[in-house]
Structure 1
Amino acid sequence: MLADQGAGRVARPRSKAAAPLLYLSTLTIGLMAGFFFAFAALVMPSFAKIDDRSFVVAMQKINDGVNSGAFQFAFLGAFVFTGAAAIVHHRMGARNAARWILAALLLYIVALAITFGGNIPLNNNLAAAGDPAAIADFTAVRTAFNEGTWNALNAARTIACMLSLLALVPAIALAGRGKITPKTGV
């Protein structure tokens, strides 16, 4: 009978933060995957059809806009919430869920590395062109931006974010099934 009750297993305390952290992780990584996907599937293909001046102005405005609180909540929150969820699940003994959450975190770190190592420097080069009112040659600025490289990097970070989001699916399932065996007096 004791074997049926989990005898020999040490009970780990449940954390009230575990589920909210995992859900916030899923939400923010999902938002980032959607954001990057929207650029890959809609924004950049549409921008490919507009004139050079419109492209430069629009991309500069978008790059300014990513400093908003809402975007930063998702962009930084995905890292913070996923890291915290991995730690909390690991500490409470939900090792299988923690492994999937860690995989999600590592995949998101890949997306961050691509962003900081590739997309942001290209965006900064575009910003360095200055005020559109003072730009003489929009074609040269657009060419120097290197849309093809930016798009390839964006595709890679989109895939990393989508895989990160997919890694959270089994984590949620495992965390939802996780049973912590209460300590018995035996």
Structure 2
Amino acid sequence: METARLASLIAATLATGLVSGLFYGFSVAVMPGLKRTGDRTVIEVMQRINVAILNGWFLLGYLGAFLFTALALALHIPSDGREALPALIAALVCCTASLVLTGKVNIPLNNALEKAGPVTRIGDPAAVRRAFEGPWVRANIWRTLLCTASFGFLCWALYLHGG
């Protein structure tokens, strides 16, 4: 049982770190870089990223962060390692909030961008960009902060688990 507790905690920490890093990369590099480009470029690049990111490796990290954190929490409840429970609960709350935010804001914006159609056929690319970019970037900053907080709580739980 101890091996399963530690393994789930390590898996949760790694998956959350990867997702946090992905969102951070968008916050500090991808979106600021795209901000300096034309409307059609932003639309086309984000449409392509939204298709490319839907793969098994992304889903393993994205869904794994939640599932492994929930598993680590469940496995720590009946253990002697209860001192890690507050950190695990906080990590799961932050991870869940990030998933909800993504589902309520980022994914619908991605879907709307896709529904705009091929970039060459969009009549008013500036309007499509305005409807997408600002709200998407703000939500991404929040999910970056939430995932980073979750990662920090998981690191703390690892410390408490081993201490």
Question: TM-score, length-normalised on structure 1?
Answer: 0.83
Q: Percent sequence identity over matched residues? A: 39
Q: How far apart, in 2, do the equivalents of 1:144 and 1:107 lie?
A: 27
Deviation readout 1:101-147 (Å, 9 max, x if unpaired): 121011111111111111111111101101234333322321232x1
2:110 matched to which residue of 1? 123
Structure 1 runs of 4+ aligned residues shifted over 3 Å read: none
Picking from 65, 74, 79, the partner of 1:87 is 74
Output aligned runs, 1:1-186, within 5 Å: 14-145=1-132, 147-177=133-163
Q: How big is the alpha-carbon RMSD for the aligned residues of Structure 1 and Structure 2?
A: 1.3
Deviation readout 1:50-101 (Å, 9 max, x if unpaired): 1111111100011112211110011000000000001111122311112211
Q: Secondary structure at the match of 2:36?
A: coil
Q: How far apart, in 1, do the equivalents of 2:76 and 2:59 lie?
A: 25
Aligned residues of 1:86 and 1:99 also touching (Cα < 8 A):
no
Q: How far apart, in 2, do the equivalents of 1:163 and 1:105 lie?
A: 10
Q: Secondary structure at the match of 1:16?
A: helix
Q: Which amino acid aligns with 1:158?
A: T
Rg bigger for which structure?
1
1:182 matched to which residue of 2? none
Q: Which amino acid aligns with 1:53?
A: R
Gaps of 5+ in 1: 1-13, 178-186
Gaps of 5+ in 2: none
